[in-house]
Each structure stands twice: as C-alpha cells, then as structure tokens.
Amino acid sequence: MRCDIAIIGGGLGGIGAALAACELGRRVVLTDATDWLGGQLTQQAVPLNEHRWVEFCGCTRSYRRFRAAVRRYYLTHYPLTEAARHTRPSVDLLNPGNAIKCGLCHEPRVAVAAIEGMLEPYVRSNQLEILLEHEPVSADVDGDRVRSITLESMVTGEQEVIEFDYVLDATEAGDLLPLTGTEYITGSEAQSETGEPHASMEARPLNIEAVTACFGLDYTPGEDLTIDRPEMYDFWRAYRPEFWPGPFLAWTDLHPATHEPRYANLFTHQEHGRMCRGRWLEHRILDRRNFVPESFTSDITLVNWPMNSYLLGPVFEVPEDEALTNIEGAKQLSLSLLYWMQTEANRPDGGLGYPGLGLRMDVVGSEDGLAKHVFLRESRRIRAELTLCEQHLSEENRAEDDLADAFDDSVGIGYSPILVHPTTEGDNYLYVPVRPFQIPLRALLPVRVENLLPAARNLGTTHLTGSSCRPHPVEWNVGEAAGSLAAFCVEHDVVPRAVPADGKRLLSFQSQLARQGFELDWQRLPVDWNEP
C-alpha cells in the first residue's frame, strides 16, 4: 500500500491526525490493533477526562465537533426524556451519565459511532483507508527516514506493507519507536537530567504508572449476578501496598494530593448525619433518569478506580511473556474487585456484598466483560527537540495571574494538573498544580528521525508532565497537530524540523492551524482560569 501519511494507532490522537490530514487533502491509511477506534475512550473504557472550560474553549474545533456528535447520537437514537432533550445549551448541556467527574460521560460504543461518522466522508471518497485488528510488526528504515511499516492481521495472520512520506505513531504505548529505532524514554527520568523539583533522584526506566483493566457495571437489586471466584482472589484480597492505608480491596483509598485516607462507599448515602460520597457516580455513563421510564432498568457506570490499578509490573518494555502475565494480573485484580463488591463489601445497612452488580459485556464489547485493552496511563516518549518539564507548567514561583511558560511555536493548548498515579516501582501519587499551558511544536519533533511524528501521549514530555498531556483534549490536539504538520510538510516539501527553524514558515503553519480551528494561546480566550 502507498499513501501520503500512515497513522498507526486509532486512539483519539490518531483520529485527530486522520481528520486533519484528510481535511488538507492527503491520502491516509489509519490502523488499529483492536476492532474499535477511539483508544482510551472506547477500547480502554475510560470516560472523558477534560478541563472545566472545554464546553466553550481550550480544545480544537474538530474535538468540539466530536463532542457534539456524541450528544447528537443520543438525541437521534435514544429515548430521552423531554427534560433531557431540551436542556439549555448555555447552562446544562446533555450529560448522558450525569457523572460527577465528567460533563459528557457516555457509553464507549457511542464514541465509536461518533468517530466513525466523522471519518466516513473520507472513507467514501477513498481518501482514507482504515485497517482494524492490524498491529505493526516491523519497519524498514533507511538512515533517518522510515520507508515502510509492516502490519500483521490479528485475524488472518497475513502481512501488509505500507509505504508513505510520513508515519505517525498514535499507538497506545509508542510501539513504533522501538520498531523504527527512534530515540525514546520510558519511566521516570533523573532529576539531574530534567531539573524537575519532583523528579526521581535517579533514572528508573521501568517506573511506570499502573495500568487498569476497566469494566462496566449495572445494578439490579434482588438478583444474584455473582461471578465465579477469580483464580487470584485470595492474593488480591490480602494485597496491600506499603503506602496504602489498608487492604487494596476496600472502600478506603488515598487522596491523590494529600495522601490522607479517603472513604467512599459504592453508592452515595447518609452516615452519621452527613452525606458520604459514592463511587458509582464518578464515571457513570448512563443515568436512567435521562431516558423515558423503563427504557433502562439500571444506571451503568465504568470502574476505573484506585482499587483496580495494577502495580506489580509494566506491560511494555518487558519480555512478551512478562507483559502478558501483567495484563492477566490486571484483569484478575479487576475481577477480584468485582467479586469482593458482590460478596464481601460492607454496606451502610450493616450487610455484606452487592450481588446485584452485573458485568456489562455489551458496554465494553468483550466476552469477559473487561475492556478490550488495559488502560495505559503512560507511554514511551520520544527524545524531542524540546521536552516539556515540570518547571514549564508548574504554578510554583509564578504570580497569581501568570500562565505557564509561553512558546513561540505553539501548536495547541491544554490544562490538567500533574497527577502521576502509583507506579510499578512503588511510588505513591504525585500531585503538582499547574497553569494552563501551550504545546510546543518542538515537543513533536524527534531529535533525529525525520519523517516519524508522535500523535498521542508519546510526545516530548517527562514522566511527570506526561500526566498533564494524558487528558483526551490534549491527546487529540497533539495528534491533530501531527497530522497537520505532516500534511504541511508534504505540500511544501520540507522536513518537520525546518518549520520552527524558519519564522515565516512557522507563521504560515500556525496560520494553517488557526484556519483549521486550533487554539494556540490561552491569553486570547475569554476565560478566567482562576475562577473555580
């Protein structure tokens, strides 16, 4: 196969990249290892993670189109109540799940449908070809250029070679980087390398944030939907990390910022005269009150909680058998959490267990009821011409109204605190407040390879700042910027590093981004980031 731009990986960054490149007239091949496009949001069953201004600013136009497509799908295909159907756009936009951590918490399948609808015109015009259930297995590299990628069908085993002008790595773990010999980093860097106040004292390449096997649940009181006792249940029932306040399978976890013990039962309830938080509402993707009576017998929620974060080892940068063992361990942990909730979890009424909790295989599209792919919080990261570090983003030593460091080569904006989850080598949560930031073009440029670009969470960040670039609007923005950059370079016959090196060329590229609906500077937006 031959194309202008090959995008390996169909997560949100890959989708943004494909839309941008196709909009600019390029011929594109988009691939993914699963049968669902959408990455974190679909195949990993992770609800939208966004900043609080996303409804009116702080993301690209195409990302806003995606959010509108999700809402439109519900308005078109679901039996919404009149109250839900006529929510006032200026006040309470439709939130199918009415989750407390997300303004648009919805089902993974709806995101798949919205994404497919956005890509469909380019598929029909033969400008875009999509290869699902294909994974990259090798690369042909000539010096500083990647000439082709060989893909293997996970269904038939047949191989296909794709040749291109540019290849974008939008895989969940940065899989093209080792295949192509592109210089990259994993885990935590040494403080002496990055200068970050909260970095490790020494480099630890396998100190990687926990993965999670997410799953969907509904609840039918009076029924017994208890699963078979998981093989590793006894292990996980006794498991307790050194820094944890008690057993891992319990309602008490740690506050990410203060490390103080934090209690939350399954459902919101009143206890000792005060309301106690319930986990059910955190990532609820379907609130049955939004739909006409008897359309749904239960709410549906996604379980991506501290208690099913797998801490015993990474799933990349280790031998394949070890990676598979850790993936299976993550699944066993999630099933053990469910079994514990069904059989042993204490209830506010003094009883034990919620046997009416049921796995929703249909929600995540798998036979075992767990997401198609474990949630990867961290990826391999390119060694970039510029690496975003803690001191670029942190609010420490800044005036009250300051933003993060400004970059002349901005290709987008983002906002999310540094929030590093517990790691495979025993680090606790790390929380560092940041200011709204810009994404520099140089963070998308590998130090050597000329025609490979990162298009997901594999841009030039550190172990710490990668967590600020993990949220969905930022990942989409990075991918869309990479797709736009590749298309710009094809049209003007220049290599990517020549764009920021020439002021006029950089301005021309940023003007193209502005026409496509990118926001490059928080200063020009109608938002007071200090407002709660």
pLDDT at res. 205: 98
Cα 503 to chain centroid distance, Å, stands at 33
What does DSSP say about strands 357-359 and 215-219: parallel, antiparallel, or unpaired? antiparallel
pLDDT surpassing 90 at residue 393: yes
Question: How does residue 118 score in pLDDT terms, banded at 50, 70 and 90?
Answer: very high
pLDDT digits over 473-502, tens only?
999 999 999 999 999 999 999 999 999 999
Specify burial of residue 125 (Cβ count, 10 A radius: 0-12, 13-18, 19+). Answer: exposed
Question: How does residue 91 score in pLDDT terms, banded at 50, 70 and 90?
Answer: very low
pLDDT at res. 86: 80
Instruction: For 477, list phi and psi in degrees, rounded to 5.
Output: -60, -45
Q: What residues contact residue 231 under an 8 Å CB cut-off, 6+ apart?
A: 332
Cα–Cα distance, 251 to 262 (Å, whole number) = 8
Query: Interhelix angle for 108-124 vs 12-23, to 10°?
Result: 20
Q: What SS3 class is residue 167?
A: strand
Whole-number mean pLDDT of the chain?
A: 95
pLDDT at res. 274: 75
The average pLDDT across 342-361 equals 96
pLDDT surpassing 70 at residue 529: no
Tokens 């259930």 belong to residue: 133
Residue, of 317 and 397, whose pLDDT is higher: 317
Residue extent(s) of CATH 3.50.50.60 domains in the chain: 5-189+377-524
pLDDT at res. 527: 73
The average pLDDT across 30-59 equals 95
pLDDT surpassing 70 at residue 89: no
The average pLDDT across 145-149 equals 98
pLDDT at res. 223: 96
pLDDT at res. 528: 73
pLDDT digits over 236-250, tens only?
999 999 999 999 999
Q: What share of the chain is helix, strand, coil (3-state, %, to 5)?
A: 30, 20, 50
pLDDT surpassing 60 at residue 411: yes
Nearest to 128 by CA among 34, 37, 43: 37
pLDDT surpassing 70 at residue 532: no
The average pLDDT across 395-405 equals 89
Cα–Cα distance, 181 to 172 (Å, whole number) = 18
Cα 278 to chain centroid distance, Å, stands at 24
Residue 343 in contact with residue 357, Cβ under 8 Å? no
Q: Give the homologous superfamily in CATH for domain 5-189+377-524.
A: FAD/NAD(P)-binding domain (3.50.50.60)
pLDDT at res. 531: 60
| Exposure letters 208-246 (e unless 16+ CB within 10 A, then b) | bbbbbbbbbbbbeeeeebbbeebebbeebbebeeeebee
pLDDT surpassing 90 at residue 51: yes
Q: What percent of the chain has pLDDT over 70?
A: 98
